[in-house]
Structures are given as C-alpha cells and as structure tokens.
Structure 1
C-alpha cells in the first residue's frame, strides 16, 4: 500500500495481482519436476558408481604420489589377532591383510602403527581392493579425520565430504545424505591421532568424542563398516580409558627391519656403494640410531629422496655417510626434513627451477601455521588443528583484518558508482523530490545485493561455493565447461526476453501502459528481476544435469569423462559462476527493457545510459558479492599475501607445483601435506635454514 501510494506502483501491483492465480500451477509444476528429477535422474546406484569411478581415479593417483613414483616398494608386514581365537596372533604382508579384511563379519578395522609406518598406504590399498571387487556395494571413501568439526554429526560430515567430490556432477546434498543412510559409503577415516596434539589430556581429546560418535554408527547387522587409522601410542592411550572402536579388529603395522631397509637402499640407488657405510651401521647396530630413525617407509623414502643425484647435473650433492654423525633419531629426522624441500624441488618432473628453496619453505610454512591455528566454524567445537588446505579457506593467512580491509576497499568503487548512477536517475521522478529519499533507496539497494557476499568474510562462514562444472583442456589445464555456461546464459536472456515480449504484446493489444511507469518503479522492478535471475542461475548450476542422469541420453549439458579432482576447481568454477551472473543479469533485463513491455521509453538519452549503468552494477554486485564470494575472497587473499610477501603471487599454481614435487598431496577437493611429520616440522621451523 505504501509503495502504491508513494511510488505510483498501482499498475505493477495490478499486474502482480493478475499473475497471482498462476503461482500455484507453477509451484505444482516445479514440485513435479523436482520429484521426477529425484526419482528418475538421481538414482542412488548411478551416483554410487560415479563416485566409485571418481575415487578410484583419484586414489590411484595418490598412491603413486605417496610412493614417489618409484617402482621399488617397501614390504609392509602386519600383525593381527585371530577373531576366532584372540590369543593367537598372525602375521602377514599386504595381500594377507586384504584377504583377512574380506573375512571380517562387521568390516570394522583399525590400522595402527608408528608415524610414517605406511598406515595411509595400507588404507589406500584396502580401498582400491574394495573398488576392484565392488559389485553394487558400498563405495570406500578416504577422509581426513582432522577436518571433522565434531559439532557436526558424523553422517552429516560424510555427506558434506561426498558433496565436495560430486560438486559439479548433478548431485544434490539430499542424494549424498541418502547414500550415507543407505550405507553405500564405506568411510576410510585417516588420522585419528591427528585430531589432537600430544599435549592434549586424554580425557579432553577430540579423538575420544569422535570414537563415541563412530560407535553409534550402525547398520542392520550392528556396527557399520569403517576403516580407521591411528598411531599406536595414541590409540593405546585412548584404550587406557576404555575408548576404542567397538566391534573392530585391530591390525598393527610392524616397523621395517634392518634387512628390509638395506634392500630398499640397494635396489633404489643407482650407486649402492655410496650407501655402504650406512648399510653397515644399520646391520651392525640393529637397534642403533640409524635403525631407529629409518624404520618406517616414510623415513626411508625421505632419505632416498634427499641423497639422490641431481637429475640435471647428474652429480651427487650430498653424501649418505653424513647420517653417521648424528647421535639421536630426532637429529636424523630434522636433518632429512631440512633437506627434503630442496631435494624435492630438484626432482620436480617439469619445472624444477620455478621457485627457490627458501621461497618454497616459507610458503609451505605459512600453510602449516594456518593449519595449526585453524578454528572450526561450528559452535561448541574447540578444534584448532587441521590437515586440509581448501583454497577458498586460506584467506586468514595474511591476517583476517587485512583481507577484510581489502574487501571493503574492493567494495567502495562499486558502491560509489551505484550512488553516482541511481540517485540522478531517480531525480527525474517528481515523487523522489527529496535527495534523502533517493540516497536512502540507493543504500537499501546496495545492502540487498551486496549483503550476502560481505557477510561471508565478516562472519567467517565456510560454505561450499557455487561453481560451474570444469573440464580438461589439453593435457593438464582445466577450464569451465563452456557449453554449460552458454546454456545457462542463453536461458537467462531467453527468460528476460520472453517476459518482456509477453507483457509488451499484452500492452499493445489492450492499450495498457508499461508496468513500471516511473523511474523509481523501474529501479525496484529491475532489482526484483535481478534477484530472480540470480536465483534462477543458482538453481541451474545446482541441478547440473549430466548425460548419466538422462535415460535416453538425448540432452547433454555437461560431459564429465575425467574423474580426477583438482582442488583448484572450486575457485575457478565459482569465479565462472560469478561472471555468468554478472553478464546474464544485465543482458536479460536489458532484453526485457528493449522489448518495451516492462519500462517506459525515455526521452532522455542520459537516463538510458544511467539505467544501463545501473544494470551493469546490479550484475557485478550479484556476481561478485553474492555468487562468487569464495573466488573474490581467494583473489583478495592472493593480493594480501603479496603485500605481506608471504607467498608467490599465483598461490594456486604454487600449491599445484608443490603437489607435483611431492611436497603436498590431494585429498578430495583439498591439498594436504605429504606427511603430517613434514607439516609439524614446518610449523615449528617457519624460517628457512641454510642448506
């Protein structure tokens, strides 16, 4: 009523009232479409198979990365108790463990061992075996437990993790929840010990609360299938308080013995004679410093990498005999970690000289420090340590206040442009005679279209960003799916054109003036349509129709043949979604305006230019402060780290280079350090040391 009286929106109100009877049929049609989409398109078995293909490709790549691309495998031996007779212990290699797991009733397994003993590699081997033998059963999915916010129920966390993998593949979160509830996901939970620091009292550990939730994770037969990895010492400490995974069988990964160490160095080295003093020391003192320091696959690979020859000069820059000078295993560990970064840079497969070692060390140390003090977003969770590096969550590294300040600076030019365009455009209306009213209305518009994106930074929300699907371009590059963007953009423009044409035809047939008879009504109606189109774009991106979800295969919007996940996809896809909205909103409303059915033709050329500028600002605001908030935040983060000189300017490229060098690994849609020991060492030693 107030709008009708003061802004002469009577005609628009009448039209909206006339359109009101069409709303229930539209809602019913949309509900029917959603039901059809859920029943026919999103079949759980099809989604599970898609997830299985994705996990298999990703974990195969990660296994090769963990083994450093070397054909020389370190034999892993394990010990476990016979379920039929717990007093009887059995030993076996990897193949024996795989056969043993197949015979378990509840499929609940705990893998323990020392740091670097090969627990993760064993879990990946179990995962890949389950995928090879899978015939419509559960899909094993490896997840880092350190990233679990315990304020979130376990099943919800698993569903969220599934969504990070299936984002851009036409799957809604409700389908991910159904997968978990149907027990079509086999959680492979890596790193129970990484949920807490060693100084945390046992009674206060997050691991204890995690075990409590895991013990309530059931299926029809009792405890649902779970594979869990944890360091031996931490799991034993939890056991002293009767905290353990119920109905689970425990497997212990044994340390590597001296003969296995020597055989590994002899097989891997191009010149085994260089290692002879080390091998003699290991064989002579089987419980000595070197034997204790190198008794895990991780440390063996670490030493072999550090003392390999430079692939470019074909010379050896370091002598393994220097390992004999250390008196304690911790000294050997620190020495190897100190030289691991420059050695990995030398052996980078494509661009070894891209970054100097001191810059690599400083950048990775910044990531390690960020993980050390990263806090949860859920109330009541004191989680202050993590292991996963999501690109859109790195923004606090240069300082939370710095990124917030940059966000405000980024907002001010657009806000100033809005105040330069809209109030003069409104001044042509006699009903907006007061400048206070014009500027107040402009401020309200700015708050409406920019509030959500700004709130993401100021309230520290970590949502999964809206993003368009990605595809491969060439051998390695990944770009947004162009066909998908063209389809969505065309749909937005067609929607605006159809609306304008329908109302223009009605106006010409019945001699009815345009809906928005004043400039004020034009601004408000454009805002309403812009928000509607933004929601339309979000909905289309959320549906992500693919060929596998269409029985006939006649419609193809996105074709995802590749299955490997690139953590950079979330930011790239989110930026593409923002650009799509920034271009689609003004184009669609502009087509409606050009048709002459929505807004009055103006006799002033200046007002047309101002209105066009207003539409462009609407698109930019909604695109970059509403939809693309994650990518905007990441771009401001890259600027912030450049100002502080913490990281290279192209952070995403640096992280991918580090992954290729074997310093980082990929877990789902995030990066992780190659090993937790490397992460902790960098957090303790943020400054580069002389090599």
Structure 2
C-alpha cells in the first residue's frame, strides 16, 4: 500500500461517494437499520474537516423517517446536499465521476449479501424487494473504476469502506440482480484500490440501533479523526488499528465480527487478506468417492425426512401462532475453539460456519431449547449442504451403550483405537436402525470417511454421569467422541452435542476441542411476545393485568423467572388455551406472581399435570380423537415407566409387547403355536394311517384296535410322528424365544396414517399383496389340515373362508399387519415365502418317495408346509405384538391399537418421531409421568347392554 500513501493529495482533487441506506422498499425482507445514513454523514463531516470541497462530495441517503429532517440540516451545515439513494442516482454517482481527480473515497453502509453461486458480494439497493432484489455487484463496480478512460486517467487511488454484512444467501432465496456498470479494458496505469470490509465472508456487521452506528464505523472514524490531516489516510495503520481491535483477546468479549482488508494494485494483480487471525480458515474438503455419492444422496434425503418428522407436531412450541417464533438466544462460554465469548451472529447457521472445525456443544437447563436449536441447525445445514460437505444426522445419545471391557481405553493408543472403533460401530448401527442407510458396509464407510455430521442429542441422558475421562458410560462416550474427531480419514470431523447444564457447572461438557454455547433465558420482551401471540386477549383482558404489571418490572419481575424458557411458556399457554382450559386464568396469574417458599415447584407441578389433559382437549388435533384425559395420562405413564425400566428413549412397536410381561406373553404364544400345530399334526397322523379325508373312520379303527399299522402304513405313521414331534418342538421353541426373528425388527416401519392414507392407487397394491400373503398362508394351512381330515371339498371351503376372512380382515380392515410390529415390505416376505415353498416341495417329494407316496403329492404337501412355515416365522413378532396388546387392553394398561395412540401423541405434541420409533418430546414431562403412582386400572369389559353402557358413561364421563 506504499504507493497509495506515497504522497499527499490536494483535498481539491479528492472526490467522495457516501451511501447510507437505512430503509428498503420491502421492509419485511430487508430490515430497517438505524446507523448507515448517520455514519455516512459522519464520514462527510470528516472529509469536510480535511478541507475536501462540498461540491466534491456526493451524499446518497435513505434515512429512517425520524432522521430525515436532521440529515438535511446537518448536510446543509456542511454545504452538501442530500440526494436519495436510488439505484439510478447511485449508478450516476460513479459513472459521472470526474476522473481528473486523484483520490476516490467511497463509503457504503446498509445491507449486503454473498451469492453462493458466484461467491461475490452484493450491496443491496434501497428499491430491493423479495421478488425483485436489486443490488450493486461490488466486484463489478471495482472493475469499472479500474477500466481505461482516454479522457480521465488520474483517478488511480481509490479507498472503499464497506460497512455491510457478508451473509451467504440461502438456496431458497432469490439472488440479487445487479445494476451493471459498463466494462472496458483495464487501464494500463496501476490503479491502487484499497477495500476494508466490515466482515469476512459468511459473517455479519452488527448494527447498534440504539447508538445509531456500528462498532466498525466507530473504529474507522475514531482512527481517521485521530490521524494526521493529510489525505489519503494511512491505510496500513487503519488496517492494523481495526484488525487489532476486533481480534485482540483483551477485547474478546466485545468481538462480533471479523473485518477484512484487500489491497489491489491492478484488477488482475495480487490481493492480500488481512482478516483476523482469531478465526482460523476451515479446510477445503475432498470430493466424495464415486461409489459413495449415491449413498450420500440417499443419506441426505432420508436425514431430511427423519429430522423433519422428529421436529413436526401440532403442539408444543409450535402449538399456537407465534410460539414457534421464540428465538432463544445463546452465548459462547469459552474460547478454546477460536470463537470469542458472547460472539453475536444473526443465525445459528452463520455462527456455526464461523467455528473452524464445526464442533459445537449446546448446553442449557431443561426446556431451554437445546434440541430445538440443534434441529434447526441441522435443518439449515441440510438445506444448504454442498456435495462435498458431511450430512447432518440426528441421533439420541440415550441409545449409547457402554463399551464392553475389551473396548475400553487402558491408557494406550491401541486402547483408544478400540474405543473409537466401538463408537464408529455404534454410529453405523444407528444409521441402520434409523433406516438412514441400506447396508452395514456402506454405513461403515460413511462413518469411517467422516461423511456424516453427528448431531448427538442428550449427553446428560447417558446412563452414568460424567466424571474423569473414561469413568462411567458418559465418560467413555466423551472420550470416544474426542478420539473420533482426531482419528480417521484426515477430513475434519464435525460434531454437534447437546447437554443439560448451566454456567454454574465446573466441568466443561462434551469434546475438548468444541465451541461451547449456552442457551439464554427468555427476556421480558420475548415472554410478552410469546404470550401475546399464544393467548387470545392477553394484551387487553383485565384478568391478565396483574401479570402484565408484574412483567413491566423487568428483571425484577417474579413471573419472568417462572416463564424464562420456551418449555415453561408452552406449559402456561397450553394450560389456559383451547376449547376447555385446564387452568383458570386467575389461578395461573396468581400462581405466576405470588411469592413464597415452594411457589415455583407448585406452579410447575400444576402445569405439568395440565399438559396431557390440554392435549386431549386440543381442538386442532384431527381424528382419531384421543381417549379421556385420565386414561391418556395412565397410558403415557405406562410408556414412560417402560422406557425407564429399559434405559431407552425409543418407543418401538416391535418391543412394546414386553410391557405385558415377557414370560407371560411368550407362554401364551407358545401355547397358541402348539395348539395350531397339534391340529395339523393330528390330521397328518390320521391321514398317514387311513388316507386323506378318512379321519372319522380311521379314528374309530384306532380306538377299536382294528387299524393295520404294519408295512408301508407303519413307515408312514412313524414318518408322520417324527414330523409332528419336530414341528411341535419348533413351535414351542419359537413361541418361548426371547427374541423374534431379526428381520422382523429391522424392516422398514411406516406409521398407520402413512399406511392407510394417501392416493388409493398407491396403497391398494401393497394391501392386496399383504392380504394375499396373510390369507393364502393361513388359509392354505387350515385348508390342508381340513383336507387331510375330511376331504378335498371341506378343505377347499374351510381354507377359502379362513383365507378370505383373515386376509381381508387382518390387512384391509383391522390393519394389524406387520406394519404395527415394526415392518411392512411385502416383496421381502414373498421372497422368503417362495424360498420356503421351494425347499418344502423338494423335501416333501423326497420323503414321500421314501414312504411310498407319489412324489408329486409330496411336492404339493411340502410346498404348502414350507410356505406356511416361512410365513409363520415372519409372523412371530406380529403374533407376539397382538397377544400382548390384547392382554394389555383387557387389563386397560394400553389401547389395543397402540400405534394409533402414539400417532395421536405425535400430532398432539406429547411425542415426536425418531426414525422407526416415537420419543417423548419433553424429557421433563416424561420424568413426571414416570413418577406418577402406578394405579390398578379397571379391566376393560364389553358392556352387555345399552343400559350398562349408559351407566358406565355416567360414572366415567368421556372427553370427546
């Protein structure tokens, strides 16, 4: 920059263009700023103090209405006229410059963005709207001012002070349309251009509306006023002053942005970036290998759907208009990751982009919005993800399991390597369990290549509290994450972790290399805004006056402490709104403002108890309607206790049968298996002695002792007896097995509403396939047994009636197909049914040949048995589910159609969907439900008459 400051310039040969835009045509899209127009005037005052003639200064302003008159007065005092900062006048100001002058000084304050398609800065014009975003492309302006002009060759020193944000546009936002400047050949002369941006790419320039300025403008003007009166100013010293101020650790608590300076000697010459060393550059990521690109695309799509279903509900924070807009603040609490304390960014995505390695820990008390913030960040990252960036994947840490002894660290590198492999295996397993990946090999490669960004929710919910590294399950997990971040493919490994904690905690949660942020309490204006949006009549109704008066006290308010988190606000709003409010407004207001020991706990207990009843009465919830409130609380409490007993957060349909009692359900299932098999075995034994269809006569002969059991008949009887023993033992063993067939649990899950809603053409083929399989297998089994006992006609009638009834009833009407037990994938089961059919046909033809039957008959018999056997193995999980739900329905522990109840809980905001499972949306509500005393519910019995049914409705009124 030595040539730029080589010699002073006569002030008469200095020209200046000062632009300050505070209001925009679309105020909703481009927010109003109080500062740019005021700062532009301050630069004009500095120039006039350096004897720059007033006629050499072009002042283009779009001030706020309250400042317009003052701007005119102050400008007139300087002898400068204020012109509107319209697109035409801005363009004319630069194209009409007198190039015989030597120095151009430009200041631009207002909104600015960076277009991801070109990575170039746009300075937003005052006429800009969401539909028609207009801008000046800064590089276009710079090039124009460096172009050859035969008549004007002296304007070769140029200074630009750009006080705008450098946010990246989101993909869904329309890119600004630049007002172009004419482009010619670059000048042969060296044109020195110095640019000082208020922020680096991806960051914001924080505007102080109260003071009507920015910290950046304050620092620049402060240096300019304190420097010598010569022009141009010493830009090297200006760079050091501004950069030093914003990056100095002693001022770290005040850092909000990172200014960047660029010096160009010619348009094609070298540039140097003097951005703050306080924030390191993120490394350039390699492109994904070809064989993983399709898998990454599928992971991106499935993760987007997974996170969307996780966050979606009709209640909770988004239950009422406006509550979803609570934007809980957060602040950094350490500087170990290179991010200053209390760094302020407009969005969490911009904040995350400033973290060098993408490692973030979000902490805060229960209900403070940690998970909401993490989900919002993951959603933003997915919406704007480039192909070479990892895919955010949301996982709950309560499913983490302590590594076995052989995988625990022993202080050696090999021990930590084993721990990392255990953690990577857990991540890969979660990708499979949540249906985010199709096969184990691909999941492993994605994890080992660091192609996913784990968003790990609930570090505090890991079973053991964190102590020293390696102590307890949480300690092993933290150690595993730390090592995972530094091991592997050499790619930077990002991670996001949420954990319950506050600034009073002495330990630093999460990985040691992560930036830690803490959720902030809701401020009084945020609480008032949430109540205004969520509660009709809050601003005006007299019954709310006591609360309004208390909140006007500000931080001295009693109610502000009781409503200082989104969860507390949701509880309060939910309790007093809806068709049947659970808490009267006067009672809530009194509880919020009263003082005394135990007042906080009593209020919170009251609101927690009102949440589920309020959800039951919520008019926004569509059919099916929920049960009455006491029953819903009892059922949810049963589910919460089930999770507590099994140290899990996931309500998975295929595992809910254990609530009815594992041994009891398995025993009932084993008995059912054996009874069905014995019916078929008796038919086989009688047919082996007397032939098919001769059951009555054969039974009589066996009773009388006149049956001939010698020769071929004896061999057939022994073969049938051996077959009967084998299948009976297999039936009993499968019924008593601790686990069902693995593929039953691991196939795709679809919710009831997804299963039976939507275009009929899309769901009808699936229903027909499933109905044919269910009805065909069961009907064939009973039909074959009946044929062996009573002949072909009876077998055909019985098999047809049972097959049609069960195939239609179980699939099309009742809906208790394998969707409820955790899977629905007809083609997969038809494949196994077909393999069973083929294996049975081959085995049957061989065995029948040995015992003297026709091989073709053996093939038909074996095919039927093999088809039903393969179907029955896949039916084990379904049957266990039906048995358990029936038992719990009779005991009134849970509804028979529990999936419909869980679906209601999701839409009511009590539950959320996590992959193939449901989870309680609020951990505090789950804990409260689990702590409720377990009462013995009345058994569910069908009313025998309308009179009894009416009596029961009078005794236990039902909430419709």
TM-score normalised by the chain length of structure 2: 0.51
Match of 2:645 in 1: 373
In structure 2, distance between residues paired with 1:134 and 1:220: 20
In structure 1, distance between residues paired with 2:920 and 2:506: 26
- The DSSP-based 3-state class of the residue aligned with 1:189 is strand
- The DSSP-based 3-state class of the residue aligned with 2:650 is coil
In structure 2, distance between residues paired with 1:339 and 1:476: 38
Query: Which of 521, 524, 533 is 1:258 aligned to?
Result: 524
Match of 2:134 in 1: none
Match of 1:298 in 2: 567
In structure 2, distance between residues paired with 1:478 and 1:245: 50
Q: 1:489 to 1:634 in 2, by over 3 A?
A: closer
Q: 1:616 to 1:572 in 2, by over 3 A?
A: farther
Match of 1:378 in 2: none
Does structure 1 residue 196 correspond to structure 2 residue 463? yes
Match of 2:407 in 1: none
- The DSSP-based 3-state class of the residue aligned with 1:263 is helix
Aligned length: 553
Query: Which of 618, 621, 631 is 1:349 aligned to?
Result: 621
Deviation per residue, 1:613-646 (Å, 9 max, x gap): 765454333323x223332332222122113220
In structure 2, distance between residues paired with 1:444 and 1:620: 15
Query: Which of 414, 427, 430 is 2:712 aligned to?
Result: 430
Worse overlay, 611-620 or 596-605: 596-605
Does structure 1 residue 210 correspond to structure 2 residue 477? yes
Does structure 1 residue 661 correspond to structure 2 residue 908? yes
Q: How does 1:574-589 map to 2 (within 5 A)?
A: 574=824, 576=826, 580=830, 584=834
- The DSSP-based 3-state class of the residue aligned with 2:631 is helix
Q: How does 1:208-357 map to 2 (within 5 A)?
A: 208-217=475-484, 218-221=487-490, 224-233=493-502, 236=505, 238-239=507-508, 244-272=510-538, 273=541, 274-284=543-553, 286=555, 290-310=559-579, 318-319=585-586, 320-324=588-592, 327-347=598-618, 348-351=620-623, 353-357=625-629
Aligned-residue offset at 1:69? 4.3
In structure 2, distance between residues paired with 1:178 and 1:106: 21
Q: 1:418 to 1:585 in 2, by over 3 A?
A: farther
- The DSSP-based 3-state class of the residue aligned with 2:614 is helix
In structure 1, distance between residues paired with 2:439 and 2:723: 37
Contact 1:577 1:627 in 2 (8 A): no
Q: 1:473 to 1:458 in 2, by over 3 A?
A: closer
Worse overlay, 354-363 or 198-207: 198-207
Aligned-residue offset at 1:230? 0.1
Aligned-residue offset at 1:387? 1.1
Query: Which of 355, 372, 384 is 1:121 aligned to?
Result: 372
Aligned-residue offset at 1:358? 0.9
Query: Which of 736, 758, 762 is 1:475 aligned to?
Result: 758
Contact 1:238 1:244 in 2 (8 A): no
Query: Which of 663, 666, 676 is 1:414 aligned to?
Result: 676
Aligned-residue offset at 1:141? 0.7
In structure 2, distance between residues paired with 1:162 and 1:480: 27
In structure 1, distance between residues paired with 2:634 and 2:372: 28
Q: How does 1:588-627 map to 2 (within 5 A)?
A: 615-624=863-872, 626-627=873-874
In structure 2, distance between residues paired with 1:478 and 1:343: 37
Query: Which of 396, 399, 404 is 1:147 aligned to?
Result: 399
- The DSSP-based 3-state class of the residue aligned with 1:230 is strand
Q: 1:361 to 1:616 in 2, by over 3 A?
A: farther
Match of 2:649 in 1: 387
Aligned-residue offset at 1:316? 8.7
Contact 2:747 2:824 in 1 (8 A): yes
Match of 1:381 in 2: none
Query: Which of 92, 95, 99 is 2:344 aligned to?
Result: 92
Contact 1:578 1:628 in 2 (8 A): no
Deviation per residue, 1:507-553 (Å, 9 max, x gap): xxxxxxxxxxxxxxxxxxxxxxxxxxxxxxxxxxxxxxxxxxxxxxx
In structure 2, distance between residues paired with 1:577 and 1:370: 33
Aligned-residue offset at 1:388? 1.1
Contact 1:466 1:574 in 2 (8 A): no
Contact 2:744 2:823 in 1 (8 A): no
Contact 2:369 2:566 in 1 (8 A): yes
Aligned-residue offset at 1:123? 0.3
Q: How does 1:377-526 map to 2 (within 5 A)?
A: 385-424=647-686, 430=712, 433=715, 438-447=720-729, 451=733, 453-454=734-735, 457-458=737-738, 465-467=745-747, 474-475=757-758, 482=765
In structure 2, distance between residues paired with 1:611 and 1:636: 34
Larger Rg: 2
Aligned-residue offset at 1:209? 1.7
- The DSSP-based 3-state class of the residue aligned with 1:150 is coil
Contact 1:392 1:571 in 2 (8 A): yes
- The DSSP-based 3-state class of the residue aligned with 1:571 is coil
In structure 2, distance between residues paired with 1:578 and 1:46: 23
- The DSSP-based 3-state class of the residue aligned with 1:79 is strand
Contact 1:277 1:321 in 2 (8 A): yes
Does structure 1 residue 573 correspond to structure 2 residue 840? no
Q: 1:316 to 1:51 in 2, by over 3 A?
A: same
Q: Which has the higher contact order (CA 8 A, sep 6+)?
A: 1
In structure 1, distance between residues paired with 2:358 and 2:771: 45
More helix by share: 1
In structure 2, distance between residues paired with 1:276 and 1:584: 72
Q: 1:440 to 1:618 in 2, by over 3 A?
A: same
Q: 1:586 to 1:667 in 2, by over 3 A?
A: closer
Does structure 1 residue 639 correspond to structure 2 residue 886? yes
Contact 1:190 1:230 in 2 (8 A): yes
Contact 1:389 1:671 in 2 (8 A): yes
Aligned-residue offset at 1:208? 1.3
Q: 1:193 to 1:349 in 2, by over 3 A?
A: same
Aligned-residue offset at 1:219? 3.6
CA RMSD, 1 decimal: 4.5
Match of 1:112 in 2: 363
Aligned-residue offset at 1:439? 2.8
Contact 1:582 1:621 in 2 (8 A): no
Contact 1:193 1:230 in 2 (8 A): yes
Aligned-residue offset at 1:597? 10
Match of 1:535 in 2: none
TM-score normalised by the chain length of structure 1: 0.69
Match of 1:564 in 2: none
Worse overlay, 641-650 or 441-450: 441-450
Match of 2:427 in 1: 158
Q: 1:207 to 1:465 in 2, by over 3 A?
A: same
Deviation per residue, 1:121-160 (Å, 9 max, x gap): 1101110121122122211111110012223722222212
Structure 2: 5+ residue stretches without partners: 1-289, 405-421, 692-710, 777-816, 938-955
Q: How does 1:74-93 map to 2 (within 5 A)?
A: 74-81=326-333, 83=335, 88-92=340-344
Q: How does 1:38-57 map to 2 (within 5 A)?
A: 43-57=291-305
In structure 1, distance between residues paired with 2:339 and 2:446: 38
In structure 1, distance between residues paired with 2:584 and 2:769: 54
Aligned-residue offset at 1:254? 0.9
Does structure 1 residue 178 correspond to structure 2 residue 429? no
Deviation per residue, 1:422-445 (Å, 9 max, x gap): 444555873954966653443234
Aligned-residue offset at 1:486? 5.8
Contact 2:766 2:826 in 1 (8 A): no
- The DSSP-based 3-state class of the residue aligned with 1:465 is helix
Contact 1:208 1:238 in 2 (8 A): no
Match of 1:67 in 2: 317
